[in-house]
C-alpha cells in the first residue's frame, strides 16, 4: 500500500464581496468619465469658442464639485482611514491633492485666487485615471481570489487520519504536521505533503492542465 505525505493547507471562502467592489468601481469610473468630458470641454483651453452665456462659466465648477464629492469619495475616506491608522499610503497622496485642486479651482472661479489656479480639468482627469487604476487593481485581486477559490474547492471536506491501527475521519483543517492520512482510489488529497511509502498518480489538472488518476489507496504524512 503506497504512502503519500501531505502538508496541511487551509482554504478560504468566496469572493462575492470583491466582485461587488469591482462592480461599484467600474460603474463609478464610467460615470465620472462621462462627467469629465464637459468639465474638460468647458475649462481646458482647446482653442474653440464657447457660447457667450452666463451659465457657461458654471458648468465646470458644478460638475467638478460632483466629481470631487462623488468620484473622489473613495480616496478621501481612504486618506482619512490611513491617517487614523498612521499608515500613509496612496490614498493619503491622492486625497489631499484633489482637495487642494478643488479648493483652488473654486477660489479662482469666485475671483478670490488668480485665474491660473483653476485646476478643474486636471482634477477631473486625475479622479478618472485614479478610478480606472483602482478598478483594474480590484479586478485583478478578484480574479486571483477566484483562482484560489477554485483550487481550494478541490480539497475534500474530510480526511482519514491514521491513529495507530485505525483511521479517524477529521476535517482537513484539523490535520497537524506529522499526521498520516489515507487517500483512497479516486479520492482527493486533503493537504500538501510528501509520499512516505510507495507511489501514486495525482490529478494535477488545475495546475498543469494534465489529467491523471489516483488508482491506489494511499497513505500520506503531513509535513512542512
For 69-91, the pLDDT digits (tens) are 999 999 999 999 999 999 999 89
Nearest residue to 78 (alpha-carbon basis) of 99, 98, 94: 94
Same domain, 7 and 29: no
Buried b (16+ CB within 10 A) or exposed e, 66-90: ebbeebbebbbebbeebeeeeeeee
Same domain, 131 and 33: yes
pLDDT at 198 exceeding the cut of 80: no
Same domain, 34 and 141: yes
Same domain, 111 and 162: no
**Which of 151, 186, 214 is the last residue before a domain boundary?**
151
Report the percentage of the chain scoring pLDDT > 70.
Answer: 69
Tally the domains of the chain: 2
Task: Kindly report the average pLDDT of the chain as a whole number.
Answer: 78
Left, alpha or beta for 31 (phi > 0: left; psi -120 to 50: alpha)? Answer: alpha
pLDDT at 11 exceeding the cut of 70: no
User: What pLDDT is attached to residue 204?
Assistant: 66
Nearest residue to 20 (alpha-carbon basis) of 107, 170, 138: 138
What is the pTM assigned to this prediction?
0.61
Domain holding 22, by residue range, is 16-151
Amino acid at each position: 500500500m503506497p504512502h503519500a505525505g501531505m502538508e496541511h493547507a487551509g482554504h478560504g471562502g468566496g469572493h462575492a464581496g470583491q466582485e461587488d467592489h469591482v462592480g461599484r468601481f467600474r460603474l463609478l469610473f464610467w460615470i465620472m468619465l462621462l462627467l469629465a468630458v464637459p468639465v474638460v470641454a468647458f475649462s481646458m483651453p482647446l482653442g474653440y469658442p464657447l457660447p457667450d452665456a452666463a451659465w457657461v462659466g458654471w458648468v465646470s465648477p458644478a460638475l467638478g464639485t460632483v466629481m470631487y464629492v462623488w468620484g473622489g469619495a473613495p480616496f478621501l475616506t481612504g486618506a482619512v482611514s490611513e491617517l487614523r491608522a498612521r499608515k500613509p499610503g496612496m490614498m493619503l497622496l491622492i486625497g489631499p491633492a484633489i482637495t487642494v485642486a478643488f479648493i483652488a479651482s473654486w477660489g479662482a472661479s469666485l475671483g478670490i485666487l488668480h485665474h491660473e489656479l483653476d485646476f478643474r480639468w486636471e482634477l477631473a482627469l486625475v479622479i478618472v485615471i485614479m478610478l480606472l487604476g483602482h478598478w483594474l487593481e480590484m479586478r485583478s485581486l478578484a480574479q486571483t481570489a477566484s483562482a484560489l477559490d477554485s483550487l481550494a474547492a478541490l480539497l475534500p471536506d474530510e480526511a482519514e487520519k491514521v491513529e495507530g491501527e485505525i483511521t479517524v475521519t477529521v476535517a482537513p483543517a484539523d490535520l497537524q504536521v506529522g499526521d498520516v492520512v489515507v487517500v483512497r482510489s479516486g479520492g482527493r488529497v486533503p493537504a500538501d505533503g510528501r509520499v512516505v511509502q510507495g507511489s501514486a498518480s495525482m490529478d494535477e489538472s488545475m495546475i498543469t492542465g494534465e489529467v491523471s488518476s489516483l488508482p491506489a489507496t494511499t497513505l500520506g504524512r503531513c509535513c512542512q
